[in-house]
Amino acid sequence: MNLAKTTKLALLSLSRNRLRSFLMMLGVTVGIASLTALASVGEATRQETMRRFKRMLGTFDMVIIEPGGASTRGMPSLATVEPVLKFADAAAIAAEIPAVRQVSEMQFAIDLDVKYRDKATSPSVIGVASNWTEVRGEEIAAGRGITPDDVASLARVAVIGQDVVTNLFPGENPLGQTLRIADVPFQVQGILASRGVGPGGASMDNTVVIPVTTASRRLFNRDYLTAVIAQLRDPAQSASAIADISALLRERHGIIPPVEDDFRVSSPEAQMTQVTEVGSTLTKVLVGVAVIATLIGGTVIMSLMLIAVSERRREIGIRRAVGASRRDIMVQFLIEAAVVALIGGIVGVLIGVAITLLITMLSELSPAIMWSAVGGSVLLSAGIGLVFGLQPAWRAANIDPIEALRS
């Protein structure tokens, strides 16, 4: 008997036993739908995390040097920054580390009141060098950013984020207006382009930027830095650049191992990788659960087909009596199992894609269908049908036709 006729008989048998076929299909459908949805939602979450890191940290061609050892954590206030990272350290990094293109000094605090007339807010106040927007990939939406002249003259000028515009200047153009930071007047000369929210869900637009020299001498009254951003010539060399910067700072600060460093150097890309790996691990665990559910669906197929073999003994005997070989019987049952699993897989993929679109829409994520997972799910479903249909097919093929006809 040729394959076309065997396939036709297999499909006819499935159509005659629709309830059993549906039940065999159901387990695979649930597993494949879960697998498709979990993989795709996990990918959408990973991409959104990467976008938020990009908005928070700017470009990835840099390393960040901060005061405090590895055990130091938390956002800095005026009272919590360790006075160990100096302006001279930033200048030495720029001059002595060949891998560094340029550096940008920063001072910032999160505990200062910013006021305009009768309105007040508490944004992050950041003192920056004139190259800050270039190093971080920031954009100015209106007005201008911090200039070299502003830094040199200790100018009391500010560039504000979109949240500060909303909170202090509703319905008003802030450019040219004077706001007060800790009761020190600053003229607004620019507005930063919106960056949205960061990886933790906090807004990245609640920011006021001022010249770093002004922050140091007129506002914060401190000669040490909160951070130094070192832009690299080649982002691929970040590991060696971090090692060179660390060695330079240990020498400048008189640190001899095993004494702990009084600074830490990190790569935004490494930080992003660490965060996304946590989410990826959880996604892999959930995908593993979905695969197990799919395999359970395969065992349902095997169980119901074994029952079907017992119920169809007479049919098998008749087919053998009219000339069907063991191979024909085995192929028919394998086709039945594979078709049921494949249809269940396709339906599961469609349901999984629909679930993904619904979840991403409700979570305000950009849809990210994992087409590799979709293709893998379809192949997995067909493979499950063949593997779990093998035992019932073998048992059907080895039924004695004479005994089957007597049953």
Query: Is residue 130 predicted with pLDDT exceeding 90?
Result: yes
Between the alpha carbon of residue 395 and those of residues 44, 84, 100, 299, 340, the distances in Å are: 45, 78, 71, 16, 19
Residue 58: phi and psi, rounded to 5, are 80, -135
Question: 336: Cβ–Cβ under 8 A, 6 or more apart, which residues?
Answer: 10, 13, 14, 305, 389
CA distance 366 to 76: 33
Q: What's the pLDDT score for residue 279?
A: 57
Place of tokens 């040199």: 152
- Give the 3-state DSSP-derived string for 192-246, with helices as H, strands as E and coil as C: ECCCCECCCCCECCCEEEEEHHHHHHHHCCCCECCEEEEEECCHHHHHHHHHHHH
Residues constituting the chain? 407
The predicted-structure confidence for 348-406, as pLDDT tens digits, reads as follows 888 888 888 888 777 767 767 767 767 777 787 878 778 887 777 787 777 766 665 66
Query: Is residue 88 predicted with pLDDT exceeding 90?
Result: yes
Question: 137: Cβ–Cβ under 8 A, 6 or more apart, which residues?
Answer: 58, 59
Query: Is residue 1 predicted with pLDDT exceeding 60?
Result: no
The predicted-structure confidence for 46-55, as pLDDT tens digits, reads as follows 777 666 666 5
Query: Is residue 193 predicted with pLDDT exceeding 70?
Result: yes
Residue predicted with more confidence, 260 or 201:
260
- The amino acid at residue 73 is R
